[in-house]
Amino acid sequence: MRGRTWVLVATALTSGVFAQENPAPPSGSVAETLANEVRSVFERSQKAVVRIEAMDRHGQLSGTGFFVDPAGTLYTSYTIGGESTAIEVRFGEQKHTARRLFADPRSGIAVLKVDAETPFLSLGKSSELGMGAPVVVVGYPMDLPLSPSFGCICSFDIKYLDRFFATRHIRANVPVQRGQGGAPLLNMRGEAVGILIAGLDQGSACFSLPIEAAEKMHRDFVRYGELRPGWLGVGVDTAATAQSGSTAEINLLNIGAPGQKAGLKSGDVLLQIGSHPITSPEDVIDAAFFISAEDAVTLKIARGDQTLDFNVTAADRPNTSVRTAGDIPAFAPAENSDLRGFPVDLQR
């Protein structure tokens, strides 16, 4: 009896010490407010976030996706929906077979469709996010239930390990796990601002494709039935000195390409492409992603002491097997061994 009493007393004392060292956040504290905000985002978004199960050449895999309209369209990562077969989507108590609308290895996403009326997430603007902005990821880690992760925005990066993305990606300090590839990156209003495509540093951070980039490709598919990235036939390099705040100097023009036909010349310095301001060649890569074939685009350039506007109509790339001016070095995160932490997702 004495032994049992001692255990009970020791347990009580230990519990008391632990409670003192780890007090619950006081009512109205920053910690409690933050916890409530994360919980609110999770509760508002959870019905539109789904588990995706499929097969690939390695066997069964599992990941996350989310609906973006009431007609069953959903976004996920390329590693889950890009090349897999027998794709099934689970949401609530329902299970639906999904078909692939399109997949793009360069951007790292796939867009799927189920024949059902579905809940969906509102879409926000990644352009409104600044460094330190709080964000939430909602996904299915491993074979566990739907869970939230919390973190903040670090930066918008155009390259990693000296290899270029197809467009700028959101880097966020949000812990992620296998199975969360394809999950939505949410702002604190519960709006999707990105799609998780790659984990970094053993899952302590992640890269997400901005939602605007996914929407651009989705619009192309609706418009053309396929992805049709625009081509101007314009190559750029870094100028020795900046002109009007930009170092993106045109150094190559394909003969007969839209840029050359519009009157651009080697030595011109790009200042703006459409609505995208240009300060470096990296900005040109980012802006070019949002151009589709047949788009009319205004290019602002500096030529000597003049600032000129040129209207250019983008074309389809003439031959994907031939290197041309305007080629953009890019990679799919799934192809880079340093980024394969969770794009591979749950292998079972």
CB 251 within 8 A of CB 235: yes
Does 126-223+335-347 match 45-113 at the fold level? Answer: yes
Beta bridge partners of 156: 170
pLDDT at 345 over 90: no
Cβ-based neighbours of 33, under 8 Å, separated by 6 or more: none
The model's pLDDT over 122-138, given as tens digits with 9 standing for 90+, comes to 999 999 999 999 999 99
Q: Which CATH number fits domain 234-313: 3.30.430.20, 3.30.70.141, 3.40.50.1000, 2.30.42.10?
A: 2.30.42.10
CB 272 within 8 A of CB 288: no
Sign of the four-CA dihedral 243, 247, 251, 257: negative
In this prediction, residue 24 carries a pLDDT of 56
Two tokens, residue 221: 């598919």
pLDDT at 328 over 80: no
In this prediction, residue 314 carries a pLDDT of 95
In this prediction, residue 161 carries a pLDDT of 86
The model's pLDDT over 28-76, given as tens digits with 9 standing for 90+, comes to 688 888 899 999 999 999 999 999 999 988 888 899 999 999 999 999 9
CA–CA distance, 196 with 149 (Å, rounded to integer): 12
pLDDT at 14 over 80: no
pLDDT at 238 over 70: yes
**Neighbouring C-alpha atoms within 13 Å toward the C-beta of 214:** 35
pTM score, two decimals?
Answer: 0.83
pLDDT at 218 over 80: yes
CB 280 within 8 A of CB 248: yes
Residue ranges per structural domain of the chain = 45-113, 126-223+335-347, 234-313
CB 197 within 8 A of CB 282: no
Q: Which fold has domain 126-223+335-347?
A: Thrombin, subunit H (2.40.10)
The model's pLDDT over 255-268, given as tens digits with 9 standing for 90+, comes to 889 999 999 999 99
Average pLDDT of span 157-167: 89
**Domain 45-113 classified CATH 3.90.245.10?**
no
pLDDT at 10 over 50: no
Average pLDDT of span 216-235: 94
CB 101 within 8 A of CB 73: yes
How far is residue 154 from each of residues 51, 120, 157, 172, 328, measured CA to CA in Å? Answer: 27, 27, 9, 5, 24
Higher pLDDT: 139 or 200? It is: 139
